[in-house]
Structure 1
Amino acid sequence: MTSLTRRTFLAAAPALAQPPARKISIAFLGAAHSHAEGKIAVVRANPAFSLAGIVEDDPKFRARYEAAGLPLITREKALTDSAIEVIVVESEVKRHARDGFAALNAGKHVHLEKPPADNMTETRTVIEAARRKQRLLQLGYMWRHHPGMNLMLDAARQGWLGDIYLIKGMMNTLITAEQRPEWNLFPGGQMFEQGCHLFDPITRLLGKPAKISSVLKTSGDFKDTLKDNTVAVLEYPRAVAVITTAVLQPTANPYRCLEIFGTNGTAVLRPIEQPVLEIDLAKPAGPYKAGRQKVDLPPFRRYEGDFAELARCITEHKPLSVTLEQEFILQQVLLEASHM
């Protein structure tokens, strides 16, 4: 987690065309996750939201947020204050399901950090609570509103790439020896921790695979059991998807990628952040000409699209773009590939 300053949290988001008719009161239930800082900044910069406060028990994080001038509130207030409409769960992964269920059961819309649980039983409980309470449940997969990823998925859905036969994705990073125990809390290791970001677009495009095979290796010389070098293969009736994810690569971000191969061409997103999208077609299709071409993309900032969609769906009483059934399938695939 990078150092916190008031300036960090006031980083500007794109202005809305018109000011919102009303502010949506939002609170954070837990703020120890590595994505919490970025999401707090995005929420504070979005004029649709009003930050009611942050619930965090860890003294270290409480001190950091207090020093940044952010309001700290109790868990009871976050869950029982009727003025608070949305809860963002950014607690530790082992607490995600419990905190998400508590917020939904209290009648709040919920943005739940990924993964939602480390088992299907708790996942079902959270999803059923969202259905029963008729509340929005948005999972925090950070590339759902990525402009390059959505354009390549759209090209695949529209048939512009032809018949899809192969998808490849890489999501590597580098962590320190001190971080490894935390990442080793779950048997899926790196596949569970970060591979999930690639399972998300693949399962939304192709659905649930017929077969899942994975190799979860401990390759680093750290005298622990962290699965730090992992590969998953998803088999579909007419396609294969291969995901690789490891925590051993220096300067990993430029090599993170998603590639979709079809009988009329390919779409390659590399790097994913800041995005560079290239499409190469045998025959022109949709808005794309034949041959190799780079696609102009707007700048991408994590989480902005997620919270913009959440605000819009709340005020307009509309469903989210990703259904609860899609969330369920994604979690099934993630847990199976992670041997969990």
Structure 2
Amino acid sequence: MNNPHFLTRRHWLATLPAVATAAGQLCHAAEKPRLRIGQIGTKHAHASGKLQAILKFPETFDFVGIVEPDAERRAAMANRDPYRRVTWLTESELLSTPGLQAVAVETDIPNLVPTAVRCLKAGKHIHLDKPAGESLDACRAMHQIATDQNLTIQMGYMLRYNPAFQFADRIVRDGWLGEITEISGMMGKFMNDGGRLELAKISGGGMFELACHLIDQVVSLLGPPDKVTSHLRRTFPEKDTFADNRLAVFDYPKAIATIRCNHIDPMGGARRQFSITGTEGTFEIRPLEPTPKGRLGLDRPRGEFNKGYQDVTFESPTGRYDAEFMDLASVIRGEKKLRWNAEHDIATHEAVLRASGML
């Protein structure tokens, strides 16, 4: 492997000026008023991680409290970190808190969009975890409310803030890879019996709940697909109805994208990967997290990178969700616009539903 490149923080900021790191924003946070924020829900798979990220930046966020309408769940979580450190509220108490500006919506999937709508109608910006419910029409209606009230919906697609994916986005838009002809990705894990039963309750299963992160990246790079074809296998029909091995094919005029989601993968997260190939080069990310690694192949020199293959190594993010909440703070303060607009989020959701066999 010739000519490895390490993107230092200085190089990283120079290479991607549109995206500020959480660390870079934090140094100015003490100079600005704190943003009042709360959270509704503890049942989403990312709920505790999102709360930890918010609490990590007390200079930026004034965390008001958390809501969990399920009394049994609330009792079970109250003495666990990070929940033991926060105030428990009812939804009406939270939404009527003076000065509240934003809410992180972290309920179970069926309640994500209804909860988000109530927050928007109360005049709050929202961080909404993924995916945006099981209905395309409800997703559209939710975004219309936000647009009408000039409020922000930040979707919780965490890979948007992953440095390797941000690098990929930049080099594609700068034409380093030429015309994109192929994207492929895989996001799997080994799911235990209890998890299988939970995911089986959603017809879209793992493609809907997990691989949506990669589908968001496909739509970001190539736009809405012309056609989506969903394939699935139920490996253990005698055990449950969970479609644990799935493939979706996204057709474009000059490109084909494929996304796999395998929940019987014994290597799990370590094998998650994403690659983009065009007429002039290719870029591969593996692993995706926690410290992503890239492999860039070029048919000619680009910037400081040489013709041929070379490694691209990125600094470890300070936390999985840190950058997205610092970005949300900048958006709410009016310092920037959220890059991913309603049109993109709706297109992503339609692609997720079609890939999951739900449309």
> What interval of TM-score do these two structures reach, taking the shorter chain for normalisation?
over 0.9
The answer to whether the 8 Å contact 1:27/1:88 transfers is yes
Q: Could you tell me which residue of structure 2 aligns to residue 171 of structure 1?
A: 187
Give the alignment partner of residue 60 of structure 2, picking from 25, 48, 63.
48
Distance 1:284 1:173 in 2: 37
The answer to whether the 8 Å contact 1:177/1:222 transfers is no
Task: Give how far 1:246 is off.
Answer: 1.2
With 54-63 and 44-53 compared, the bigger mean Cα shift is at: 54-63
Give the alignment partner of residue 254 of structure 2, picking from 238, 243, 253.
238
Q: Could you tell me which residue of structure 1 aligns to residue 214 of structure 2?
A: 198
**Structure 2 residue 309 is matched with structure 1 residue 292:** yes
Segments of structure 1 that go 5 or more residues without pairing to the other structure are: 1-12
Identity %: 33
Distance 1:30 1:173 in 2: 24
State the superposition RMSD in angstroms. 1.5
**Cα pair distance change 1:94/1:14, threshold 3 Å:** same
Q: Could you tell me which residue of structure 2 aligns to residue 10 of structure 1?
A: none
**Structure 2 residue 27 is matched with structure 1 residue 17:** yes
Distance 1:160 1:135 in 2: 35
**Cα pair distance change 1:20/1:137, threshold 3 Å:** farther
**Structure 2 residue 348 is matched with structure 1 residue 330:** yes
TM-score of the pair, normalised by structure 2: 0.88
Q: Secondary structure at the match of 1:230?
A: strand
Q: Could you tell me which residue of structure 2 aligns to residue 60 of structure 1?
A: 73
Q: What letter is aligned with 1:325?
A: E
Residues 52-73 of structure 1 show CA distances to partners (whole Å, capped at 9, x for unaligned) of 0000123234442345222111
Segments of structure 2 that go 5 or more residues without pairing to the other structure are: 1-21
How many residues in Structure 1 have an aligned counterpart in Structure 2? 328
Q: Could you tell me which residue of structure 1 aligns to residue 15 of structure 2?
A: none
Q: Secondary structure at the match of 2:194?
A: coil
Give the alignment partner of residue 282 of structure 2, picking from 238, 255, 266.
266
**Structure 2 residue 46 is matched with structure 1 residue 35:** yes
Task: Give how far 1:277 is off.
Answer: 0.8
Residues 91-141 of structure 1 show CA distances to partners (whole Å, capped at 9, x for unaligned) of 000000100000001000000010111011210121011011110110100
Q: How does 1:1-340 map to 2 (within 5 A)?
A: 14=23, 16-18=26-28, 19-46=30-57, 47-58=59-70, 59-67=72-80, 68-220=84-236, 223-273=239-289, 274-300=291-317, 301-316=319-334, 318-340=336-358
Distance 2:74 2:91 in 1: 15
Distance 2:355 2:339 in 1: 25
The answer to whether the 8 Å contact 2:292/2:313 transfers is no
Which has the higher relative contact order, 1 or 2, with Cα contacts under 8 A spaced 6 or more apart?
Answer: 2
